[in-house]
Amino acid sequence: LMKYEVTGSIVVYKSDLIVLQKSITSFLNTELKVKLYIIDNSPTNEVEKICTDDRIEYIYTNKTFETFDIINIIDTINQHNIT
């Protein structure tokens, strides 16, 4: 089980792919052990095509989750992955 020093999440809905790619690149530009979760609430999974780095976990929901639900999802994942 991989342990991470930093995890992050970006929740997207019909996002501008250029802006999103810049955000992803900025987060991943580190020597730290990081994991980035992209939670995609969009009607299509178009965002997946820019989530090619191994440090990204793409989660396509195909529906809109409330912020609280997403926080719970990420907290559950992180309980097992942070040093």
Give residue 82's pLDDT. 46
This model's pTM is above 0.95:
no
Highest mean pLDDT among 4-8, 17-21, 56-60, 75-79: 17-21
Torsion 50-56-57-59 (CA) sign = negative
pLDDT band at 78 (very low <50, low <70, confident <90, very high): low
Give residue 83's pLDDT. 43
Q: Three-class SS string for the chain?
A: CCCECEEEEEEECCCCHHHHHHHHHHHHCCCCCEEEEEEECCCCCHHHHHCCCCCEEEEECCCCCCHHHHHHHHHHHHCCCEC
